[in-house]
Amino acid sequence: MLLHATGLAGAFTVEIEKRIDHRGFFARTFCAAEFGGQGLATGMVQMNISCSIEKGTLRGMHYQEAPYSEVKLVRCTRGAVYDVIIDMRGESETAYRWFGVELTAENYRMLYVPEGFAHGFLSLSDDTEVTYLVSQFFTPEAERGVRWNDPFFGIEWPHDATVISEKDKAWPDFRRPEGSIGNIHLRGDKQI
């Protein structure tokens, strides 16, 4: 596996290394020794699957507050998504910046999402499926979120979201907490 820094502190894209022969290929998608050797979380407790029927389905931007913050390792297993993370850690050098990357069934790319990051994705094709490992169990009382189109973050989505849950539409405008060191001029990064 190849880990590539995203520009946001602690977040990485993960590329698989295929061993190809006449049958197809074999590759590792997770290795506790390799992740642990880089200081990344290895204690995954749950695996989730999300299926979006229509192109333009938006899910996010979600996170859990400490002490229930979760790490995610996200992969698109069918179709394609534009996956976005926001560093919600007010004390971070990359606080309130976002990063977006296209994950597809064909490119096998994954996104490692550290604790304290909001996460969401937009389906780029019909019948899209995403699976992800998480390091914490879902804790409803710790669930938080920010709106995908909040002007504070200025996320540049590749196209409009057309299917959005009422909960995701209703997150209030974000206000930067007092005392946080987040960038005054926010900028995002994207990788296609």
Which CATH number goes with the domain that contains 111? 2.60.120.10
**pLDDT greater than 70 at residue 129:** yes
Within-domain flag for 93: yes
pTM confidence score: 0.91
Amino acid at 66: A
Within-domain flag for 31: no
CA dist list (Å): 37 to 31, 41, 192: 10, 10, 27
Within-domain flag for 12: no
Within-domain flag for 37: no
Q: Say how far apart CA 128 and CA 40 lie, in whole Å.
A: 28
Beta bridge mates, 102: 82
Q: Say how far apart CA 149 and CA 168 lie, in whole Å.
A: 10
Q: Which of 4, 62, 119, 185 is catalytic?
A: 62
Check if 132 is active-site: yes
Within-domain flag for 36: no
Check if 185 is active-site: no
Q: Which of 63, 82, 96, 132 is catalytic?
A: 132
Q: What pLDDT digit, counting tens, does each position of 106-128 carry?
A: 999 999 999 999 999 999 999 99
Within-domain flag for 174: yes
Within-domain flag for 100: yes
Within-domain flag for 88: yes
In which domain, by residue range, is 96 found? 43-186
Number of structural domains, the chain? Answer: 1
Q: What pLDDT digit, counting tens, does each position of 18-46 carry?
A: 999 999 999 999 999 999 999 999 999 99
